[in-house]
Structure 1
Amino acid sequence: MKIRKIGTNNDLHEINTKKRKPYKIIFFTIIILSTATFFGFKYLKKPPVAICLDSDTKVYNEYKDAVVLIKHSYGYFAKIKGKEIQLTTQDAKEETVFGTGFFVDRDGRILTNGHVLQPWNSSEEQQEKVNTTIRNLRMKIASILTTDISEEEYQSFIERNWQIASSYDESEGEGDYEGEGDGEERTEEPAGEEFVSSNDTQEDTAKVTTDIAAAIPVKEYVAKDDIEVYIKTVTIEVALHDSDNEWLSCEIEKISEDTNIDLGTVQLTDHTTPQSVATIINLDNAVKDDTSLNPGQKAIMVGYPLGMDLAQTNSGIKVQLYDGKISKESDGNKIQYSITSTHGASGAPVFNECGQLIAVNFSGVAEVQGFNFGIVAKHISTL
């Protein structure tokens, strides 16, 4: 019997190398194919075809959980020598407005109207009213606040003495205030009418008046330049459809700088869309070509007209559906439709018959129903 002689170590290495080569080829082939498949799927895949919901009820059921009721409270604030306080006097009361918004991603981001987030800038008339109030509040503070009052006492002092603050007379023009605070020393004169019966009495009265005036301490008032008055958000919260008056805290994220594009976004403070919101409103599926929106086509709105007045029910907060038709071609910024709407529905999504977003409701004619307008969906991407 012949015994085969095993080769040297070099021969063994060559044999093992030849055995491993097929495995290397297979391994690298798998890597290459996996990489090609991944990038091919990522960049060459076709977008999913949107399903037409084809009825008002299906649109409502699909998106009702994504539409929220917005509650925005705002008020007047004063910054006096750097110290900020909220003004709570009769003519500076905190106000609350309601609007509608809808989730557009899973990070708690909500789209709505800009005027829901800044109601004090909703119109030129409103802006002028707010500016007049700000000027008046500033002058009133300057007419009563003395420099000997500590920062901690600003708010309580102003509230106690507000009734004697000098008011602004709009008819006399800007800056015509009584007792205007300018940082200068002022003496307080006794009120009341003087009655004189003889020259002697007149001299005596003048002397007494002089003595009284000299006895009154001179006070220095805070200068107008050290007082800033402005308006800002106190709280902004949202409630979900079917919730039991539970409000989720939000932060204002962005407001369109274009006054013709009444859009803005808020975000939940925890940056997470609730799990109960099964379907967000897909902006990729929105109708971005507003020239394709023609009069006579279906328009469906899901929102909260009249805010809590209609939303609150015995079984919680309920969103509502209203429908109509497009009644005028888009002008590039807004489109008109015959949907019944009112205050509170600002920021509500408007869909076509398939459930594609076509606009964001923002205004209407208060005196007559059926004349309402929405910002066309193509402008959402610019925000």
Structure 2
Amino acid sequence: MDHEKNESDQNELDKNQSQQNNNSPSDDFSEQQNLESENLSSENSSNEIREKPVEKQPEQTLPVTEKKKRNPYKIAFFSLGGIILLGGASYFGYNYYKNHQVEPIAENVCLDTDTKIYDAYKDAVVMVKHRYGFFAKIKGKEVQLNLPDVSEETLFGTAFFVDKKGNMISNSHVLQPWNSPENIDKLNTDASNIRRKIASILTTDISEDGYETFITSNWGNASSEYDEEGESDYHDGEGEADQGEEFVTSDQPTVDSTAEAVDIAASIPHKDYISEEYIEVYMKTIDISVALHNSAEEWLPCTIEKISEDVSVDLGVLQLTTKETPNTVVNIINLEHAVTDDQTLRPGEKAVMIGYPLGEDLAQTISGIKVQLYDGQISKESDGTKIQYSVTSTHGASGSPIFNNCGQLIAVNFSGLEKVQGYNFGIIAKQINSVYPFLAAEVKVDHIN
């Protein structure tokens, strides 16, 4: 009996030991995996349980009051940001407008700085582009001559508005450059040569409508040379044929050389050429236009209204074809405010010029045409017609207004020494009214009205 009991105890002990040996690390890992799998499965199930109610309830079923409670800070933030941005844009926009706005000038107010003078009158000063060339009138028919050595030219200058009817003041040599003292002699010489050349090629059998084409096609054969007796030699093709030395033998009959020359001359077709007395050559405007400050290659067509009859007064009147000054020109350069007593202009006093020296070369920018300001001082007393000052200037600035330190017009720039700066001249302002009294009358009528 005891033996059986001991055997039973021994079996239980072996069984327990066997179970302990089976508890290896791999079993622990498996158990751990099983636990994690169970936990993950439990979490997924839990998530599914939590998500199911959200899927079943659409967003619009949420109470409106609950939505509003989610966004109060966000709404306030964006509202405040919008107010700040709008306020900043308004502030900077107002400052830009204020700094760039041209205001009308009050009467008897001194513009005591260069910047104030520039801001007041920059829009009233325009750049002039003048295209001109040679024309010929043949038996009353006018044709433009556009030939290799007779081509059109382009000149740039300056002008400024003096009323609201599109009238501008400039130099006469800008409006009629061919009549300036330094060009008149050359023009007369060139015109005479061109007239002779036309007479050397243009025949009477050419129709008036064919003048321009014929002259252009045959210009290479034209000549302006004269023989020693002062008569033109450009029709020498009708002269006698050259006669070489003849060898006469006893077997050959005698030939009358005079009769042979007459026969050759008779065989040459005879053409009549138009006489120079029926040909007139002169220079003339092709077109003239102006560009405003800050414009982008927009040229406004003009007409030349008046040229000074006094060659010493280099002034002229230009007018827009619309006969209306643009609305962008807030302040015209009023002749009533100009300094007409030139004896008050003393050496050493300030002189300010607004204009377009060098024309398009200097005025053209990536944002449009820009007028320029230069200053100096009066160098010499007025002689009653012109005054000298030390303002920097060059071609293109002809016709620019010259102001004193208060912004009153004192002169119109017209000449200078290009190689040496500082020696420039202007026609004094009082000459505008004396030469163009109708402008002064119009200004007074507008002022009264």
**TM-score grouping bracket, smaller chain normalisation:** 0.7 to 0.9
State how 1:137-176 maps to structure 2 within 5 Å: 137-168=194-225
Show CA shifts across 1:16-41 (max 9, x none).
xxxxxxxxxxxxxxxxxxxxxxxxxx
Match status 1:335 vs 2:390: no
Distance in 2 of aligned mates of 1:75 and 1:253 = 19
Give structure 1 regions of 4+ aligned residues with deviation exceeding 4 angstroms.
199-210
Partner Cα distance (2:160, 2:134) in 1: 28
Q: 2:247 aligns with which of 198, 207, 213?
A: 198
Q: Check whether the contact 1:187–1:213 (CA below 8 A) recurs between aligned residues.
A: no
Match of 2:233 in 1: 178
Post-superposition shift, 1:176?
5.2
Report which of the two has the higher share of strand.
1
1:69 CA displacement: 0.3
- Structure having the higher helix fraction is 2
Superposition map of 1:116-127 within 5 A: 116-123=174-181, 125-127=182-184
Q: Distance in 1 between matches of 2:228 and 2:343?
A: 51
Deviation at 1:243, TM superposition (A): 0.5
Alpha-carbon distance, 1:92 to partner: 1.7
Report the count of equivalent residues: 327
Letter in 1 for 2:349: Q
Percentage identity across aligned positions?
A: 60
Q: 2:331 aligns with which of 276, 279, 289?
A: 279
Please list, as runs of the form range in 1=range in 2, the aligned pairs for 1:295-306 lying within 5 A after superposition: 295-306=347-358
1:130 maps to what in 2? Answer: 187
Task: Identify which of 286, 293, 305 aligns with 1:234.
Answer: 286
**TM-score, normalised relative to structure 1:** 0.80
Take 1:283 and 1:336, find their aligned partners in 2: how far apart are those partners?
Answer: 21
Task: Output the TM-score relative to the length of structure 2.
Answer: 0.69
**Inter-partner Cα distance in structure 2 for 1:160 and 1:316:** 41
Q: Cα distance 1:190–1:60, how it changes in 2: closer, same or farther (>3 A)?
A: farther
SS at match of 1:64: helix
Q: Does 1:225 align with 2:277?
A: yes
What is the CA–CA distance in structure 2 between the aligned matches of 1:212 and 1:50, rounded to whole Å?
88
Instruction: Go from structure 1 to structure 2 and tell me whether the alpha carbon gap of 1:187 and 1:176 turns closer, same or farther (over 3 Å shift).
Output: closer
1:80 equivalent in alignment to 2:138: yes
What secondary structure is seen at the aligned counterpart in 2 of 1:90?
Answer: coil
Which structure has the higher relative contact order (CA within 8 Å, separation 6+)? 1
Q: Aligned equivalents of 1:211 and 1:245: distance in 2?
A: 66
Cα distance in 2 for partners of 1:130, 1:368 equals 27
Structure possessing the higher radius of gyration over alpha carbons: 2
Asked if 1 retains the 8 angstrom alpha-carbon contact of 2:225 and 2:234, the reply is: no
CA distance in 1, matches of 2:380, 2:424: 11
Q: CA deviation at 1:49?
A: 4.0
Letter in 2 for 1:114: S
Partner of 2:47: none
What 5-or-longer segments of structure 2 have no aligned partner? 1-105, 437-449
2:411 is aligned, of 354, 359, 362, to: 359
Deviation at 1:367, TM superposition (A): 2.0
How much has 1:208 moved relative to structure 2?
Answer: 6.0
Preserved contact between residue 187 and residue 217 of structure 1 (Cα < 8 Å): no
Distance (Å, rounded) in 1 between the aligned partners of 2:159 and 2:382: 22
Partners in 2 of 1:130 and 1:152 — Cα distance? Answer: 26
Q: Which residue of 2 is the match for residue 183 of structure 1?
A: none
The unaligned stretches of length 5 or more in structure 1 are 1-47, 181-185
Residue aligning to 2:266: 214
Per the TM alignment, residue 56 of structure 1 is displaced from its structure 2 partner at its CA by 0.4
Q: CA deviation at 1:199?
A: 4.3
Give the whole-Å Cα distance in 2 for the aligned partners of 1:315 and 1:176: 59
> CA offset at residue 50 of structure 1?
1.4
Report whether the alignment pairs 1:69 with 2:127: yes
CA distance in structure 1 between the aligned counterparts of 2:228 and 2:294, rounded to whole angstroms: 53
- Tell me which of 152, 164, 177 is aligned to 1:94: 152
Q: CA deviation at 1:203?
A: 5.4
SS in 1 for 2:209: helix
What is the 5 A alignment of 1:244-323? 244-323=296-375
Q: In the alignment, is residue 106 of structure 1 matched against residue 164 of structure 2? A: yes
Deviation at 1:209, TM superposition (A): 5.1
Q: What are the residue-to-residue correspondences of 1:32-47 with 2, within 5 Å?
A: none
Instruction: Work out whether residues 187 and 219 of structure 1, in 8 Å CA contact, stay in contact via their aligned partners in 2.
Output: no
Question: What is the Cα deviation at residue 164 of structure 1?
Answer: 1.0
Secondary structure at 2:149 match in 1 = helix
CA RMSD in angstroms comes to 2.3
Report the CA distance between 1:278 and its aligned residue: 1.2
In 2: Cα distance, 1:161 partner to 1:220 partner: 16
Which whole-Å CA distance do the structure 2 matches of 1:158 and 1:234 have between them? 19
How far, CA to CA, are the matches of 2:279 and 2:185 in structure 1? 20
